[in-house]
Structure 1
Amino acid sequence: MKASLHVCDTIASKGVKHMKDLLYYQDAMIKQFSADVVKTGADEQGAYVVLSNTAFYPTGGGQPHDTGWINNVEVLNVEKVDEEIRHYIQEEATLSGRVEGKLNWVRRFDHMQQHTGQHILTAAFVELFDYQTVSFHLGTDLVTIDLNTVAVTAEELAAAEKRANDIILENRPIETTWVTKEELVQYNLRKDVSVDEDIRLVIIPDYDYNGCGGTHPTSTGQVQMVKIMEIEKMKANIRVHFVCGNRVYEQLAMRKTVLTDVARQLSVPEKEAGAALTKLMKAAKQTEKALAETRDALLAFEAKEFVHTGESIIAKTFENRSIQELQKLARYVTTEKPDVIALLVANNEDKLQFVAARGANIDVSMKSISTAALPSINGKGGGNDALVQGGGEKLITPEQLLEAMKSAL
């Protein structure tokens, strides 16, 4: 979706002679309106109503659709289909004659804040670093733009964010105008438009001139703030995640709640939570490493106990042993005594698992054991001549599985 090519293309509502006559273009701040029902129907998306005019914005140009109510009937979706704006409503509802439309203003204003913030932030990246926005997505939590660069520094992000917030703080007017293709030369457009008629420009004077069919507030101050949250590498681009307006407060509240909880659990002031968490993670990794070394030592000791019996085949069953533990134990056994075979079966919660391994002085392929054992448990496995492993359903007892493996020898 091209972020800077949100240009309207055709007439979109029955009864409206020109796109510029649509209520959401006449005044994006309209919250309620009156109109006539000119058509009702249903399609694969559900029942819909077409009005003589509308302030409900349909999905398009990177901006999600409005919701709200027509009379007291909830508007669930708004889409432009076959040159008309369809307001999708509950199937059982019936509407006719003169009706009253009311927007879900919290949703609309949020979309206007995010969309306008995108214009401002995109223009900042172009102005400061000539990084063009190649795509734009307005999500339910975060907004993203993809910049046509393979890397962005923390300093560049901070500079672009500051420039965007300076423009917001200046409370510059946001103007819209409809122009012909010939008139475009009068404007310093951030990016070329892709249509030849019904061209609508959204202008922040002396800063950003952009072809766009979305809705925007009347001044930059209404965006309140832009905050970049994170970035990620996307093939040859950098994706910037950010929020504007009320979403900044929502993100701040969420992060404050999380930080307070982390600081409380670490018993440190919030500003020291990061350092304390780093220290805790380092200690946890050291403990995990020591625990793994202890487990390995116990497995090695267990293996010595097995081979001291003098048996040429070490056949054992266990309760709740992971396949990784069985593999390590089998290797310890066959390393300790190269002329033995280890056959190990674990009875785990929902399946039987096994490992078969041979010492260096044994010539028998362990694949024959796997071939014999797997059908009896409807299982799957893998490995090589020296060691195989597998697992399957509990169709037989662990002891029966072990006998099937021994029989293969």
Structure 2
Amino acid sequence: MSFACQKNSYLKEFDTVVKSCVQSELKTGKKDVVQGFEVILEDTILFPEGGGQPDDRGTINEVPVLRVTRRGAEAVHFVTKAIEAGTSVHMVVDWVRRFDHMQQHSGQHLITAVTETLNLGEKTSFIELDTPKMTEEQMQTLESEINKTIRQGVKVFPTLYENKDDPALAEARCRGLPDDHEGPVRVLAIEGIDSCLCCGTHVTNVTDLQVVKLLLTEKGKRKNSINLHFVCGDRVLQYLGRAVQVERSLNVLLKGPLEQHFELAEKAVKGYKNSNKTVQNLLRDVASLEAEKFRNQSDKPPYFICHRKEGDIDFLNTLIKELNDESLLTLATAGEDKAPGFVMMSGPEEMVKDLGPKIMELLEGKGGFSKGRYQGKANKLQNRTKAAQLVQEAAKTLKQTPSEP
């Protein structure tokens, strides 16, 4: 079946009749499920997902359509309100979403006639090309030719073939028909440039693409292929708008214009790395001092508890290494109270194995025992006072022996 949206992709409203309505459900996430109904109409202007193009959104008698899928020759519309069979309905398409898909999809056909994989993303799209690389110069040449064609106003039109064995179909590019395909075969042509089997919605003239901007290339999934990312039409303006916002923010942050951003950012990164290295060295010194301070106590308890919000896992490792006392029950934590942090315990093996999971439960984290230590990440370090109390209670059974200074 060829739907009304495929015969005329510019239809924004449409009247039809409900053929069936059955109760169903729609999965919107791993666990989220929406209860509703599957509605099949005599015809539709809402395109069901297929051929790499996402499905449309819109309404049926003002009832929002949450998903449109194809089942054989039928388009299945998922709604949350029942619409009885035989009901005459008025459909309205979400035109902003539809026209965006038309621009990106037609743009893909224009960019290359050798594309084998199409992906229309939310902000940018990409096509997978059978070439191991594309230089900047080649991208500029291709982009120039594409936009030259747009200015020439080349027509785009579909042709329906009732017989899938029609010899004319052999001249069109094809990735193969779906196993459950029924009805006529649709070929989308860009006059004098490309002819391809395609079920999607398209513009009728390449001038509706407005402009195409090629963004970047990356390695494709297949051997010797690349993904070429691009934006068409209104997405170019959206992309440019985001780029301007980022540029203005970086002008303030880096204290320099766009032309100097790379140089200034590189300088800032080097400065950060040097500062971070200095902080790490200072934290190791602090860990050594904390351990020395404990060792120098005249009446040391059989436990050691330490927290430093500026610390990290390296700080904890240094601290326990400097203490160097397997008989000392130690609980060390690092990080901000309201942010994920690090936890490390050492001491008598059986005691640490027993206390570790209890401590992590209090701190809402996960960890494990390895090489004489129990360590992990915690999400609620503000509970460390309670964790310290557990350690102090457990340490009462220990008999502290003096450590070597």
| TMscore range, shorter length | 0.7 to 0.9
Which aligned pairs between 1:144-155 and structure 2 lie closer than 5 A?
A: 144-155=126-137
Which of 187, 203, 208 does residue 217 from structure 1 map onto? 203
| Match of residue 14 from structure 2 | 33
Letter of the 1:52 counterpart: E
Structure 1 residues not aligned, in runs of 5+: 1-10, 12-18, 127-132, 357-365
Out of 385, 388, 400, the position equivalent to 2:373 is: 388
* TM-score after normalising by structure 1: 0.74
Measured at CA, do residues 290 and 106 of structure 1 come closer, stay the same or move farther in structure 2, by a change above 3 Å? same
| Alpha-carbon offset, residue 85 of structure 1 | 2.5
Structure 1 pair 405–200 and aligned structure 2 pair: CA distance change class (3 A):
farther
Is this contact kept in 1: 2:327–2:400, CA < 8 A? no
Which residue of the partner structure matches residue 144 of structure 2? 162
Mapped to 2, the partners of 1:352 and 1:398 lie a distance apart of: 17
Against the structure 1 CA distance between its residues 408 and 59, is the aligned structure 2 distance closer, same or farther, given a 3 Å change threshold? farther
Matched positions, count:
364
Corresponding residue of 1:360: none
C-alpha contact 2:303 2:391 (8 A) present in aligned 1:
no
- Distance in 2 of aligned mates of 1:284 and 1:32: 57
> Where in structure 2 are there 5+ consecutive unaligned residues?
27-35, 359-366, 379-385
Contact 2:18–2:86 (CA under 8 A) maintained in structure 1: yes
- The whole-number CA distance in structure 2 between the counterparts of 1:304 and 1:89 is 69
8 Å CA contact retained: 2:302, 2:399: no
Relative to structure 1, is the Cα distance of residues 39 and 407 closer, same or farther in structure 2, using a 3 angstrom cutoff? Answer: same
In 1, the alpha carbon distance for the partners of 2:320 and 2:299 equals 14
Which residue matches 1:399? 392
Return closer, same or farther for 1:88/1:294 CA change in 2, 3 Å cut-off. Answer: closer
- Note the alpha carbon deviations across 1:129-148, whole angstroms, 9 max, x for none: xxxx3322223322232334
Contact 1:327/1:355, CA 8 A, preserved across alignment: no
Equivalence for 1:5: none
Aligned match of 1:206: 192
- State the SS of the aligned residue for 1:378: helix
| Change in 2 beyond 3 A, CA 1:382/1:167 | same
- Partners in 1 of 2:166 and 2:333 — Cα distance? 79
Instruction: Report sequence identity in percent.
Output: 27
Q: Do residues 330 (structure 1) and 330 (structure 2) align?
A: no
Contact 1:115 1:138 in 2 (8 A): yes
Does structure 2 retain, via aligned residues, the 8 Å contact 1:344–1:402?
Answer: no
Map 1:26-105; keep pairs closer than 5 Å: 26-45=7-26, 46-81=36-71, 83-92=73-82, 96-105=86-95
RMSD: 3.7
Deviates more, 1:154-163 or 1:63-72: 154-163
For the 8 Å contact 1:306–1:314, the answer to whether it is kept is: no
Checking the alignment, whether the CA contact within 8 Å between 1:313 and 1:341 is kept in structure 2 is no
Q: Is the 8 A contact 2:304 2:330 kept in 1?
A: yes
Aligned-partner Cα distance in 1 for 2:342–2:245: 44
**Structure 2 counterpart of 1:141, from 106, 120, 123:** 123
Q: Report SS of the residue matched to 2:207.
A: helix
Distance 2:304 2:188 in 1: 76
1:370 aligns with 2:332: no
Change (3 A) 1:405 1:342: same
What do residues 110-136 of structure 1 show as CA deviations (whole Å, max 9, x unaligned)?
A: 11111111112233xx4xxxxxx3322
Partner of 2:219: 233
1:218-263, CA deviations, whole angstroms, 9 ceiling, x for partnerless residues? 1111112222334443543433332211111111112211221221
**In the alignment, is the contact (CA less than 8 A) between 2:116 and 2:128 conserved in 1?**
yes
Amino acid at match of 2:369: G
- Kindly indicate whether residue 284 of structure 2 is the aligned counterpart of residue 287 of structure 1: no
Counterpart residue type for residue 70 of structure 1 = I
Aligned in 2, Cα 1:311/1:156: closer, same or farther, shift over 3 Å?
Answer: farther
Superposed displacement of residue 291, structure 1:
1.9
Contact 2:353 2:369 survives alignment (8 Å): no
The one-letter code of the counterpart of 2:190 is I
C-alpha contact (below 8 Å) 2:287/2:316 kept by paired residues:
no
Counterpart position of 2:31: none
Q: Distance in 2 between matches of 1:171 and 1:263?
A: 39
Distance 1:209 1:328, change over 3 A: same
Partner-residue secondary structure (3-state), 2:387: coil
1:91 to partner: Cα distance: 1.0
Kindly state the Cα deviation for residue 96 of structure 1 after the two structures are TM-superposed. Answer: 4.8
**Deviation of 1:305 (Å):** 5.1
Task: Check 1:193–1:389 CA distance in 2 against 1; reply closer, same or farther (3 A cut).
Answer: closer
